[in-house]
Structure 1
């Protein structure tokens, strides 16, 4: 892919993302969204984060990898427990990464 094509893809993706986000801001106050829709919006960040992280934790080489040797999955489980216990993003990242590095060093 040429640099110009790659730049065009990045710019188009950025503009599309901006317009999607702007659409919710622009209609705020003008359109009354149903209560069920507003309630569902609170789950969007968690759903998006899960969709980004789950494949990296659960898959290896394009196949499901549920094994006690899957260091990413084990570190992810540790991070979930830390997040639930501390409610701290910082501690979750630090302890989760330390668990991942430690588990990878053991393999």
Structure 2
């Protein structure tokens, strides 16, 4: 078997596996509701995913970890997190975070 054929078979197998995995959850959740402990745990998935996507962008600057006060993204993110905690308003959090980032970058 050539390497091209092997690569295509691997891609096909991964695609079928991914589709089957996603379909299984749709089918299982359509037939029965998950237990209460699982429902409570699943409520935290969106927040965990968002944190996993955003935090590395805030603490890494030019490929290195930067936790100093010179990191404008970290300061703007901390201010946005505070606004989110106090107000629980998504649009206000985004506006304050972006305005803080732009101002900190403009005057840095």
TM bucket (normalised to shorter chain) is 0.7 to 0.9
The alignment covers a number of residue pairs equal to 93
1:91 alignment partner in structure 2: 92
- Normalising by the residue count of structure 1, what TM-score does the alignment of the two structures yield? 0.74
Offset of 1:27 from its aligned partner? 1.9
1:36 alignment partner in structure 2: 37
RMSD: 2.3
Gaps of at least 5 residues in structure 1 are 1-8
Higher CA-based Rg: 2
Q: Judging changes above 3 Å, is the alpha-carbon distance between structure 1 residues 93 and 32 closer, same or farther for their aligned structure 2 residues?
A: closer
Offset of 1:87 from its aligned partner? 0.9
2: CA distance, partners of 1:32 / 1:81: 35
SS at match of 1:28: helix
1:106 aligns with 2:107: yes
Offset of 1:98 from its aligned partner? 0.3
Q: Which moved more, 1:59-68 or 1:72-81?
A: 59-68
* 1:1-107 equivalences in 2 (<5 Å): 16=18, 20=22, 22-107=23-108
* Deviation string, structure 1 residues 50-79 (Cα, Å, up to 9, x no partner): 000000000112221111000000000000
